[in-house]
A and B are shown apart, each in its own frame.
Chain A
Amino acid sequence: MQGNDPARRAVLEQLEQAALETYGEERSAEATLRTALELAATAVWRVAQERLEPLGPEPLPTHD
């Protein structure tokens, strides 16, 4: 399961730590923030699994 993947857990822990430092303990423990952290961790982890060479698609946010 992706929730138990060590790399995903590491991403979640990094985001949790950043939330704690930025928003404090009380806010970081609230349910809406916890949910957002979990979802973001899964997305960041999944994106980071995909390898791209430096030469390749450029990161332009357009559709040309």
Chain B
Amino acid sequence: MTDTHAPTALHELTAHQAAQLIADRQLSPVELVNDLLERSARVDGQVQAWETLDAERALEAAHVAEQLVGSAATPLGALHGVPFGAKDIFDTAGLRTSAGFGPYAQRVPAADSEPVARLKRAGAVLLGKMVTTQFAYADPPRTRNPWSAERTPGGSSSGSAAGVAARVVALALGSQTAGSVLRPAAYNGVVGFKPTYGRVSKRGVFPLAWSLDHVGVLARCVEDCGLFLSAVAGYDPADPTSVSEPVPSFAVEGEPPAPLLGIVTDALAAAVPRVAEHVTSVAKAFESAGARVVEVGLGEPLDLLLAVHHVIMQSEAAAAHWQLLEQYPGSHAPRLRAYVEVGRLVPSVVYLHAQRLRRRVRAAMARSLETIDALLLPTAIDVAPGRETTGVPSLQAPFSLTGFPSLSLPSGVLADEGLPLAVQLAAAPWQEARLLSVGRWCEAQLPRMPAPPIDG
């Protein structure tokens, strides 16, 4: 994001803008935390993004950060003094982590989850916990979409996405098993980013389906996603799904070149016409700006990808939760309960067959990406639906299945309904630096997203 549109209010600052101002001693971390607390007091009654605001400790951490800015002997982290929120499935030391589950209402972890710990080591200040759907599944949350109180904010990273959109925080941890980072990002008009599976440790994060769960982030620009990834990426021997792949620089370096994009025709066909038309027009605008756009597929039929994903996710969710279901009868939300109950009935041979097919699917998708920089497709099949659902994951789940990195960019506002539209980019595994570069180029071609129409 360019800084030609200097924000006038502190709560409008992106994470990298705030970090730069703090490092330059032009902004006090205490002042920033206080501003976000005031902003939260004004708007969170409408949005309900926060599960727990930790004002006292956030201010303490901000005071410490402020003192360190004045200490020339201490090198500052890339997110020094920058507040962040964490979805309430990420363990936080001394701060309640309930995962939306009644019996865990007073659960207070002794240690931070690894992503939270790494963000703190980069200097970031934990402002609080953000609403999740129960155990990051699909039962609708209490959070409202700041663009329309009658529409879902999406899920399961509901509070993270709605909170970033409502300007109560600039950066928030989310997680994605099907589409729980990118879909809420799309519905709330913010940026959502999911790195490659294994890039970010999940230690201390409640599982939903182990081989599909990813840590991700909600932000208001692509550059902040790079800052986030620089802080949290890297091998963690305590997480068996963590991978010891080299971690390159994700920092912004110069102007990104115009990319070669593969527009996914299957995904356009799966979207409602107004979304397909929008993404097609965005692709044309990218071409006019210098990108090359070619038509590609996902490598295998979309319905097969979704079936493989469904079988794996449901089987693993059942394995993760069936004992909890028996231990705390009546405590699970209706959809999660039914999902786990039916997951227990799926034959193990079908689960293993799906895992074998997953390797084929992954190889085919990798071939689709061999000659292009990134796939281009709608993030979601339509704009945010009503609050009785968290939306449809069919266009985000393919990349949760393959583990490939994906990014959602807000790309406009649907004129007649005033709701955000979004495009999705996806790249080959471990190519986050390329994906973020493509994302920055595309972001620069897209209209600047306005703030949602909420009071405050």
Contact = CB atoms under 8 A, between A and B. Distances in A.
Interface of A: 15, 18-19, 22-23, 27, 30, 32-33, 35-37, 39-40, 42-48, 50, 52, 56-64
B310 A39 contact: yes
Interface of B: 196-198, 210-211, 241, 243, 303-304, 306-308, 310-312, 314, 334-335, 337-339, 341-347, 350, 352-360, 362, 402-403, 429
B334 A32 contact: yes
A40 B314 contact: yes
Interface centre among B243, B347, B362 (most CB of A within 10 A): B347
Contact of A35 (B312, B338, B347): B338
Given A27-B341, A44-B350, A59-B356, 7 more contacts: A36-B339, A43-B310, A44-B347, A46-B307, A47-B357, A52-B356, A64-B243
Contact of A32 (B211, B337, B429): B337
A33 B304 contact: no
A23 B312 contact: no
A47 B345 contact: no
A62 B357 contact: no
Contacts of B360: 52, 57
A23 B341 contact: yes
A51 B391 CA distance: 32
A48 B353 contact: yes
A40 to B, nearest CB: 5
A46 to B, nearest CB: 4
Contacts of A52: 353, 356-357, 360
Contact of B352 (A39, A45, A50, A59): A59
26 contacts: A19-B342, A27-B341, A32-B335, A35-B338, A40-B311, A40-B342, A42-B307, A43-B311, A44-B307, A44-B350, A46-B304, A47-B311, A47-B357, A48-B353, A50-B353, A56-B356, A57-B356, A61-B210, A61-B211, A61-B312, A61-B358, A62-B241, A63-B196, A63-B198, A63-B362, A63-B403
